[in-house]
Amino acid sequence: MSFKKKDNQTYYNPIRRAVLNHQMIQPGDKVAIGMSGGKDSTSLLYFLDKISKQKRLGFEFEIVPITLAMGFDMDIAPLQEFVEGLGYKLDVVPTNIAQVVFDIREERSPCSLCAKLRRGILYKRAKDVGCNKVALGHHLDDAIETYFMNFLFHGQMASFDPISYLSKTDITLIRPLLYVEEKQIIQFVEREALPVIFNPCPVDKKTKREEIKHLVSGLAQSYPDIREKFIMGMEQGVSENFWTKSLVVEQKKGN
């Protein structure tokens, strides 16, 4: 695959900065990468592979690519070939998630249950093969969209964390693409012709998150630096800026 000088500025430096700023990866870590077959996780494997082998963090770390067979009719051969081309073997975990979500439970809003089931199986598999961390391909736009979804639908001003320790599974969840924009990932995937597996999920691109994605895109046209400002707000914001109800009010509610 080709390498351009701007790749350091666009991809490797932001990933390295995110990893170091939030201490996502340490020497000796064994990191499982959740591979969905989409552009984000495929790019994540490619970037982390190069960062590890070239010791861009000052040390190497181990990588284990894992994908879940959801129960849909998917041809993952291109993904397997890509993973093997980088020197790894794709760990394919069979599941019946599609059957549970759509046939047994017949969920009208299936995304939440699907995500919960996928996370549980992925974390367990990662632990079973000796990993202490799981890396997901969530990028900067995912973080902004999550913030707006929490704000608009739940009244919460929060996004997901860059790094989270999951005590139930003894796994640390990391998001190394946190500073990388989605459009940059799309450009890289197209330039390098990375494999992207078609998502057969019947609700793909029909969710509330897709609505929020369009909202963020519209805001970015009027405020081009919205993504940089989001990072500043999330990392430099202080609790004193929030409205904190007095202890008296809380006590009255308790009574």
Cα gap 94→69, rounded to integer Å: 5
* 249 — pLDDT class (breaks 50, 70, 90): low
Calculate the average pLDDT of the chain: 88
R_g of the chain computed on alpha carbons: 19
User: For the segment 139-151, what is each residue's pLDDT rounded down to a tens digit?
Assistant: 999 999 999 999 9
3-state SS, residue 25: coil
Question: Does residue 248 carry a pLDDT above 80?
Answer: no
**Do 112 and 75 meet the contact criterion of CB atoms below 8 Å apart?**
no
3-state SS, residue 222: helix
pLDDT number for residue 203 = 61
pLDDT number for residue 169 = 92
**Do 11 and 180 meet the contact criterion of CB atoms below 8 Å apart?**
yes
pLDDT number for residue 240 = 78
Question: Does residue 122 carry a pLDDT above 70?
Answer: yes
pLDDT number for residue 237 = 80
Q: Residues of 148-183 as b/e, b for ≥16 C-beta within 10 angstroms? A: bbeeeeeeeeebbebbeeeeebebbbbbbbbbbbbe
Question: Does residue 130 carry a pLDDT above 80?
Answer: yes
With tokens 């020197």, the residue in question is 87
Helix axes 226-236, 208-222, angle to 10 degrees: 110
In sequence order, which residues have a C-beta less than 8 Å from that of residue 8 and are 6 or more positions away?
none
* 75 — pLDDT class (breaks 50, 70, 90): confident
* 244 — pLDDT class (breaks 50, 70, 90): confident
pLDDT number for residue 242 = 80
Q: Looking at residues 74-95, what average pLDDT do you find?
A: 92
- Taken as a whole, the chain contains a residue count of 255
Q: Which residues pair with 172 in a beta bridge?
A: 133, 165
The rounded percent of the chain whose pLDDT value lies above 70 is: 88
User: For the segment 226-243, what is each residue's pLDDT rounded down to a tens digit?
Assistant: 999 999 999 988 777 788
> The pTM is what?
0.88
pLDDT number for residue 201 = 65
Question: Checking DSSP bridges between strand 171-174 and strand 163-166, what pairing results, if any?
Answer: antiparallel
Let me know if domain 5-238 sits in CATH 3.40.718.10. no
**Burial status of residue 97 (CB atoms within 10 A of its CB: 0-12, 13-18, 19 or more):** buried
